[in-house]
Amino acid sequence: MRVYNFAAGPSTLPLPVLEQAQKELLDYNGTGMSITEMSHRSKPFMAVNAEANALLRELMNIPDDYSVLFVQGGATQQFAAVPLNLLKNGKADYIVTGNFASKAYEEGLKYGDMAIAASSKEANYTYIPDMKNIKFRDGIDYVHTTYNNTIFGTRYTELPTTDATLVTDMSSCILSEEIDVKKFGLIYAGAQKNIAPAGVTIVIVRKDLLGSALPICPVMLNYAVQDKNDSLYNTPPCFPIYVSMLVFRWLKELGGVKAIQKINEEKAGMLYDFIDNSTFYTNNVVKKDRSIMNVPFVTPNADLDAQFVAEATKQGLVSLKGHRLVGGMRASIYNAMPKEGVIKLIDFMKKFELENINK
């Protein structure tokens, strides 16, 4: 039986995509083999690679002067790849809004003069700093941001004002809402939250930023090399790229990012409304900064939190345990989580509250 899986990543995939992948696993398109068993230079795989690229461009409305790369190493590898490719003056500023943002900054420190321009650490990352009050240093190569903070359940709703290249980590929100790619020099995202199995990482980079990687930049991390080779410099993660293509097709058929954004806002809205109207559950993120992908919440105490997770699991609502840095619960409600899953979660929350409110 399929469960409703609220995991933060790797996370649930659309059922029609899984079914299609299952159907094609023994024989992809009459080739007599699966897509993972053939050369990455074969015609069928090259077509998959090209279609995935074209569909992502279409879905995100990515202008022609941007390159779309499928690379490996996860978002974490990008924490190093970004400075290794973009540092010309040797310095960059970071806005630290969570654990991943902090890790990106720390990795960056190995390669240049990095500074934290703003942080919400003092309030356990429950808000996004006010963009208007941030002063960046002169001569920086980029400003690094984390658009959606997976662990703490926050997201940006406005961007910093800067002439420097804006870089953002969209691992947990790519394709969840409409964004203007032109505002960014570079967007990256590990696939395993909103797109595909772990193994492929999306990089969307403005072409004028290519070609000035530091001499020590490993060839695998060099965006210009990946760009020149259509992301086929070496053997790519073929299966995750194939599933990405299926997910992009699924999303396009659904009406694209505009349509899924509406659904995502409905799902998140229902859940936040329920939590806000309850005296039993709490989400302590500043309202305007709340993520529509990751919703952390707690009951009145840690024992009840543990009981909640255990009982929910028995009802087929799984992976709701919160991150160890936050505790409590977290419902990750990515694109592939159907509205029915959120409705079922809320029904369970109501029932659990009634049974436990006086304890």
Ligand X SMILES: *Cc1c(COP(=O)(O)O)cnc(C)c1O
- Summarize as ranges the residues that interact with ligand X (CB under 6 A): 9, 74-76, 100, 146, 150, 169, 171-172, 190, 193
Least separation in angstroms between residue 324's CB and ligand X is 14
| Shorter beta-carbon distance to ligand X: residue 103 or 252 | 103
| Residue with the shortest CB distance to ligand X | 74
Whichever of 104 and 304 has its CB closer to ligand X, that residue is: 104
**Shortest Å, Cβ 146 to ligand X:** 5
Tell the smallest beta-carbon distance from residue 189 to ligand X (Å). Answer: 8
| Minimum separation from the CB atom of position 121 to ligand X (A) | 16
Q: Give the Cα separation of 188 and 183 in Å (integer).
A: 14
Residue nearer to ligand X on the CB measure, 49 or 148: 148
When the beta carbons of 100 and 223 are compared against ligand X, the nearer one is: 100
Q: How far is the CB of 77 from ligand X (least distance, A)?
A: 7
54 or 198: CB nearest ligand X: 198
- The least distance separating ligand X from the CB of residue 82, rounded to whole angstroms, comes to 12
Measured from the CB atom, the residue of 75 and 285 that comes closer to ligand X is 75
